[in-house]
Amino acid sequence: MHFGLSNEDESKFVDVTVGFEFAEMVKKKLVFHVKNNGSVSAINNMDIIKRFFEELGLEVDFINPSNLVNIKEIDKIVISPFGNEAIMKSGVKLSISRAMTEKYRYLTERADPG
């Protein structure tokens, strides 16, 4: 099963099931970030998209109210006194809730105090 989307000007069609990293809500639009393909906009119901990716066998979760991520694409979760961040394998940093930090504790490390 494949799920493809066109970018804003429809100049590029991207199969978001290949290389899916994370999705975020931006101005009431769901924006998918796909490795090696940039980002594409889509529908505005993240629960439908979450179920879709789970049916494909991907482990996805909302790490905060705005970001749905492919858990396997998280390199590490950094815990700091200023807020926790999920560092994606691509280097993108996303805030992550305390509850999700606890859920994915095996990915955590403490921030360097310096």
Q: Domain check: are 53 and 97 in the same one?
A: no
Q: Domain check: are 31 and 17 in the same one?
A: yes
Strand arrangement of the beta sheet that strand 93-95 belongs to? 93-95, 85-88, 74-79, 108-110
Question: 41-87: per-residue pLDDT in tens?
Answer: 455 456 667 777 787 888 999 898 888 899 999 999 999 888 999 99
Q: Under a CB-based contact definition with an 8 Å cutoff, are residues 88 and 21 in contact? A: yes
Q: Domain check: are 13 and 61 in the same one?
A: yes
Question: 72-84: per-residue pLDDT in tens?
Answer: 999 999 998 889 9
Q: Which domain holds residue 78?
A: 73-110
